[in-house]
Amino acid sequence: MNTAIATAPAPGSLAAYTPSMAISRYAAEYQTIAPALPGQNLPWLQALRATALAQFSAQGFPSPREEEWRYTNVSGIEKKLFAPSLDLTGTDVDAEWLKSYKLEDAWVLVLVNGHFSAELSVLDGLPEAVTVMGMADALAKQPGTVEKYLGTAADQSEHSFIAFNTAWFTDGLFVHVPAKLVLDKPIQLLHIVTGSEAMATTRNIIIADDLVEVKLIETYVGKDSAYLTAAVTEVFVGLNADVTLYKLQSESEKAYHFGGSYIKQARDARFTHHNFAFGGLLARSDIHVDLDHASECELNGLYLGVKRQHIDNHTRINHLKPYAVSRELYKGVLDDRARGVFQGRVIVAEDAQKTDSQMNNRNLLLSDDAEADTKPQLEIYADDVKCAHGVTVGQLDEKSIFYLQSRCVDEETARNMLTFAFANEMVDKIKIKGLHDRVLEQVLARFPQEGVNKEWL
């Protein structure tokens, strides 16, 4: 509920802010945690946090009155009052459980309840030239570099979740791959939450310098309880560099997830994103990409909703310069009372002639109570461009079901096969075997698999 809106102080005014007037209970708690946040000795960060806090205090969490949030109501987060953990002391991580999420044949960076754990991470054999560390460490050891990047891909005036993250982040990951390096193994960024009513607010920066080739996998998981993940990741793809980022969101059934990925691509850079949104009670992902001259991005997404899950994916592709190419395909499968939201914006600036852009969103509804809201938006300010978009929301095609039945397959198996085939198109795009198999397992676990045979994959 956002009934407190009438008492909001003027935006941006720190002076007007007093905890008792707070629109959000989180703002009222801020002073108690602020001294424990990293970067106390960095005036630029303190200033950034103050501005962000002021913005968040004025607005609270985003409300469905905002166009970009009209289908997604996050008031549950306000009701719960999740609490951040300020360090890792006393946190026990079940090693077996953690192991089940760690990818083999990858370097793994582990974050527990919003804090980097060097102890749990696996970095053997990582080339020395590559910098990977927790964000708190990076702020201590390389404050200049962090300052140069933090907040430059994610615009905190965009919405108050980003502001919340800027003010609240306890740690995060910092990855820097220097020019011309090609990493032969992927880097997994494994975010885990172990506490109930916990909050993991992380700020992550990934820098791939010119001509770098790197694959990263963000994994979000948690113990079976209610908690909040609020992660913001800024990605910088250098000249002619090639970055692939997988996101596997498998939060617990009761969790709230906000994950924003904000990508800046330099000239001729390539960026591929695969967004698997499977978990959470309420999950929202933002993927924003800024495209420079002749750069290319590919955004793939698969969201699977069961029970009462609400899964929102929000993409924005900014064609800022000429000759850039964007390809986007998001697919949703929604069962029971689940709701899927897709908002995809493509903005072609006046200067971005010869833009080539395609956006597609396809939704499969498996129950009468499931819902898909889809809103593609093209905003084109250049005149010589090729832009296409399409959306579909529908049930399984009866003609296809009958065709399979006429080939001896019973109706239930036919439905399972078609559902699986629909989702599997996105799974098949995964180029990392270990990840592919895990994602496949999760897809199969979420939908009836009677009659769906692994051998045909």
- Which residues bind to another protein, rule: CB under 8 A? 397-400, 402-411, 413, 417-418, 420-422, 424-425, 451, 453, 455-456
User: Which of 185/429 has CB closer to another protein?
Assistant: 429
Q: Which of 125, 83, 98 is nearest to 230 (CA)?
A: 83
Minimum separation from the CB atom of position 443 to another protein (A) = 12
- Cβ-count burial of 318 within 10 angstroms (0-12 exposed, 13-18 middle, 19+ buried)? buried
Which of 450, 455, 453, 423 is closest to 439 using CA atoms?
423
What minimum distance in Å lies between the beta carbon of 439 and another protein?
15
Considering the complex, state which of residue 381 and residue 402 has its C-beta at the smaller distance from another protein: 402
Question: Which C-beta is closer to another protein: that of 46 or that of 449?
Answer: 449
Q: Between residues 143 and 451, which has the closer beta carbon with respect to another protein?
A: 451
Cα 279 to chain centroid, rounded: 12
Say if residues 236 and 212 touch (Cβ distance below 8 Å): no
Decide: 132 and 142 in contact? Cβ < 8 Å.
Answer: no
Indicate left, alpha or beta for 197 from its phi (over 0: left) and psi (-120 to 50: alpha). left
Residue carrying structure tokens 């026990």: 92
Closest distance between another protein and the C-beta of residue 215, in Å? 25
Cβ at position 422, least distance to another protein in Å: 6
Closest CB to another protein among residues 65, 407: 407
User: Between 225 and 400, whose beta carbon lies closer to another protein?
Assistant: 400
The least distance separating another protein from the CB of residue 249, rounded to whole angstroms, comes to: 23
CB of 451 to another protein, least distance (A): 8
Give the residue with the Cβ less far from another protein, 104 or 411: 411
Count Cα atoms within 13 angstroms, Cβ side, for 121.
23
Q: Which residue intervals of 20-142 are DSSP H helices?
A: 25-33, 43-59, 75-80, 95-99, 135-141
In whole angstroms, the minimum distance from the beta carbon of 250 to another protein comes to: 23
10: DSSP letter: P
